[in-house]
Amino acid sequence: MNNWKKLAVAVMLAGAVVMIQGCGGNGEEAKSMEKGKVWKAATEAAYPPFRYVDENSNLVGFEVDLLKEIGRRTGATIEFRDMPFDRLLDAVAGKQVDMAIGAITVTKEREKLVAFSDSYYRLSGYSLLVKKGNPPVRNEEELAGKVVAAKRGSTSEARAKAQNPKEIISMDHYEDIFKALEAGKADVGITGDQAALYELEHGGSSRLSLSGTIPTEDNFAIALSKDNPQLKKEINEALKSMMDDGTYDSLAHKWFFVKAADKE
């Protein structure tokens, strides 16, 4: 990797900051969840290195390993269900699934619909991508008057809409954003830093350029039903134990450095 790519990987790994809080009890909490339980987890399987379908048709990624380890520590098996990102929270609120994981940013608006676990990742920023050779878009203000490709239902889409763009092209997957840029259908694409880095490291740098960033401190967390505080308690306790014993750091290194950069 060249220097800028090494720096980008290092920044992204440093961004994996967790916000685990203590999990106190009031003496009246329900008994621990029954061992052997199956948890239905909704996700959108198209956001490497967080989660994606590999060449063997297996769902893999940082969030997949993270949730499987939480399940192992709490005696639960995880059953993943793939669905569009903008349906994840509704699936949780409607109790179609027990939880949703998918780089979901905690916002006050979303907290009206679902509960959230403690944060397991802090996003360091949004990346602005352009087709190679096109004029750069360096910051949030320069989105004004541009045709912007963004992920449907995402906080990055909301940030772009607030800048008076010429048009927002809402995409279901980040891969669609990259294709729109390459085809000249959008002036700029806005993605999470991890999605941009992964795409550039895996062949995208020949077609796309990282032209700017938008700083943020969005926190990702697992979405849960408001009616199941015991599940939230068990997940938070498992997350904290992973932070304490180094398991989280190992997963972050695996997916945000080794896998993201194809480094053996």
- Same domain, residue pair 210 and 223: no
- Same domain, residue pair 47 and 81: yes
Provide mean pLDDT across the span 221-250: 97
Q: Which residue has the higher pLDDT, 23 or 67?
A: 67
Residue 262: what pLDDT? 57
- Same domain, residue pair 187 and 135: yes
- Same domain, residue pair 194 and 209: yes
27 in a structural domain: no
Q: What confidence category does residue 123 fall into, taking pLDDT thresholds of 50, 70 and 90?
A: confident
Single-letter amino acid code for the residue at 178: F
241 has pLDDT over 70? yes
Residue 163: what pLDDT? 95
- Same domain, residue pair 239 and 164: no
138 has pLDDT over 60? yes
Q: Which of 22-31, 40-49, 249-258 has the lowest mean pLDDT?
A: 22-31
Tell which residue, 254, 258, 253, has the closest CA to residue 14. Answer: 253
- Same domain, residue pair 136 and 211: yes
- Same domain, residue pair 209 and 166: yes
28 in a structural domain: no
227 in a structural domain: yes
Q: Which of 182, 197, 215 is the last residue of a domain?
A: 215
247 has pLDDT over 70? yes
Residue 183: what pLDDT? 96
Residue 8: what pLDDT? 44
Tell which residue, 2, 5, 3, has the closest CA to residue 200. Answer: 5
Residue ranges making up the domain that contains 53: 15-20+35-122+218-258
158 has pLDDT over 70? yes
Provide mean pLDDT across the span 140-149: 97
Q: Which residue has the higher pLDDT, 256 or 150?
A: 150
Provide mean pLDDT across the span 98-103: 97
- Same domain, residue pair 103 and 43: yes
The alpha carbon dihedral of 20, 120, 82, 74 has a sign of negative
Query: What is the pTM for the complete model shown?
Result: 0.79
Q: Which residue has the higher pLDDT, 262 or 102?
A: 102
Split into its structural domains, the chain has a count of: 2
206 in a structural domain: yes
3 in a structural domain: no
Q: What confidence category does residue 23 fall into, taking pLDDT thresholds of 50, 70 and 90?
A: very low
For residues 84 and 82, give the distance between their C-alpha atoms in angstroms, rounded to a whole number.
7
200 in a structural domain: yes
User: Is the Cβ–Cβ distance between 254 and 66 less than 8 Å?
Assistant: no
- Same domain, residue pair 111 and 75: yes
Residue 22: what pLDDT? 38
β-pair partners for 172: none
- Same domain, residue pair 70 and 90: yes
Q: What confidence category does residue 263 fall into, taking pLDDT thresholds of 50, 70 and 90?
A: very low
* Structure tokens that stand for 243 in this block: 């932070």
β-pair partners for 53: 59
The rounded percent of the chain whose pLDDT value lies above 70 is 84
100 in a structural domain: yes
Mean pLDDT for the chain? 87
Provide mean pLDDT across the span 6-16: 43
Residue 34: what pLDDT? 52
- Same domain, residue pair 79 and 203: no
Residue 147: what pLDDT? 98
Residue 21: what pLDDT? 39
Q: Which of 23-32, 72-81, 155-164, 252-261 has the lowest mean pLDDT?
A: 23-32
For residues 97 and 222, give the distance between their C-alpha atoms in angstroms, rounded to a whole number.
12
250 in a structural domain: yes
- Same domain, residue pair 224 and 106: yes
User: Looking at residue 97, which CATH number applies to its domain?
Assistant: 3.40.190.10
In 10 A of CB 183, how many CB atoms?
9
Residue 217: what pLDDT? 83
